[in-house]
Structure 1
Amino acid sequence: MSAHPSESTCHPGGDTPAQPQTIVVLGIGNLLWADEGFGVRCIEALQRRFEFAEHVSLIDGGTQGLYLIQHVQAADALLIFDAIDYGLEPGTLKQVRDDAVPRFMGAKKMSLHQTGFQEVLSLAQLTGKYPQQVLLIGCQPQELEDYGGSLRPVVKAAMEEALALGVEQIARWGGEPAPRRTPLGEREAVTMDELALAAYETQRPAPEAACREGDERFFPTTVEN
């Protein structure tokens, strides 16, 4: 499994952009729908493994949609992790840069969160507060229709390469990533302790004990005359 070549736009005149003053690293998606949680799991892993300079913010964007506009507008550089349907083999990573990112976010919408975030990027462009540099690290999902399910093995394995690519980019931006030396304090994690990957996978009910396709008590019934 390898990352596809980046889609990128050229900077005017070929100049190398200055190091950003504010770096926002954003993971979006829904932990409760299997591979849709890829982006949030990447943010969780980054925080647990690394420390960064003070001007780097790690954000669990979840499915907040337009509520994320403030984070996008505040960023000089924006790194996004998300599960993206590129039509590739499951677990394949693809990097997309700068002005091409909104187009890819809306190419094949898998859920409402992608519609909302595409609007966030468009609104940031309209307000003139769009990050100078944007990198989307997207992973092709394998399974989405599994409520309460976790990342599939091929997608979980892709996280390692995605994290390496992300840390490399943050370092180039001057974000000073370094292995974490200070343990996270209680309730300091970007995701709730109860939803952390290990707890989520070990404490959730087995598939046969939990209805993941809807609760039959609330299914519509046919009334016979």
Structure 2
Amino acid sequence: MTYDAEVLVIGCGNVLFKDDGFGPTTIKEIEEHLDERPLPDNVMTIDAGTSAPHYLFSLPNPMWKKLIILDIADFGGEPGEVRILSRDDVPQGKYQDPHSLSVADPLDLTEAEIVIIACQPEDVSSPYVVYGLSESVKKAMPKAIDMVYEQVEI
């Protein structure tokens, strides 16, 4: 797949580990309601799952103007709290593919504006597969979606 859009809305995470599925689940919700709430033509949504570092960030496209990343982040907030984080708020290597030999942080490979819409998780600690978001994170999705729509205006 080619990511030829000026704005990418990227859901990162693993739906098999409770709140870690926030990004992909939010992307799915956006895509299911595009008839009622369309995105501009220059915007592409991507459920990147756990493959974002390898398949997306390692292949930057000069046409990208903004990358909007939906993900969980422990920023010390209340479970379900949603914040916008900048590239500088993300720990070095957060989106690094752990199997890669590259030492470059993928977020540094593009000159596009990076916006991270992050949700404070309630539960990602289980070593077992637990499908589905916690209630607090599920309730945060509408706010995160509204933030996406605010951000796609470039």
TM-score when normalising by structure 2:
0.78
1:106 pairs with 62, 73, 91, which one?
A: 91
Q: Percent identity?
A: 28
| Alignment partners' CA distance in 2, 1:62 and 1:139 | 16
1:116 pairs with 82, 85, 97, which one?
A: 97
After superposition, the C-alpha distances for 1:171-208 in whole angstroms (9 at most, x for unaligned) are: x22xxxxxxxxxxxxxxxxxxxxxxxxxxxxxxxxxxx
2:64 pairs with 38, 56, 75, which one?
A: 75
Give the alignment's Cα RMSD to 1 decimal.
2.4
Matched, 1:130 2:111: yes
After superposition, the C-alpha distances for 1:110-169 in whole angstroms (9 at most, x for unaligned) are: xxxx443982112x1xxxx320x2211100001112513310000000011111111122
Counterparts in 2 of 1:44 and 1:72: CA distance versus 1, 3 Å:
farther
- Structure 2 runs not aligned, ≥5 long: 99-103
> How much does 1:73 deviate?
5.4
Tell me how many residue pairs correspond in the alignment.
138
| Alignment partners' CA distance in 2, 1:73 and 1:86 | 31
2:13 aligned residue: 29
2:50 pairs with 63, 79, 83, which one?
A: 63
2:148 pairs with 144, 149, 166, which one?
A: 166
Q: SS in structure 1 opposite 2:105?
A: helix
Q: SS in structure 1 opposite 2:10?
A: strand
Please tell me the residue identity of whatever aligns with 1:60: D
Q: Contact between 2:39 and 2:149, CA under 8 Å: does it hold in 1?
A: no
> How much does 1:47 deviate?
1.0
Counterparts in 2 of 1:54 and 1:104: CA distance versus 1, 3 Å:
same
Q: SS in structure 2 opposite 1:116?
A: coil
- Structure 1 runs not aligned, ≥5 long: 1-20, 174-225
After superposition, the C-alpha distances for 1:23-67 in whole angstroms (9 at most, x for unaligned) are: 111110001000000011111111111222332111111111222
Counterparts in 2 of 1:84 and 1:108: CA distance versus 1, 3 Å:
farther
Q: Contact between 1:80 and 1:136, CA under 8 Å: does it hold in 2?
A: yes
1:139 aligned residue: 119
| Alignment partners' CA distance in 1, 2:33 and 2:60 | 23
| Alignment partners' CA distance in 1, 2:141 and 2:12 | 14
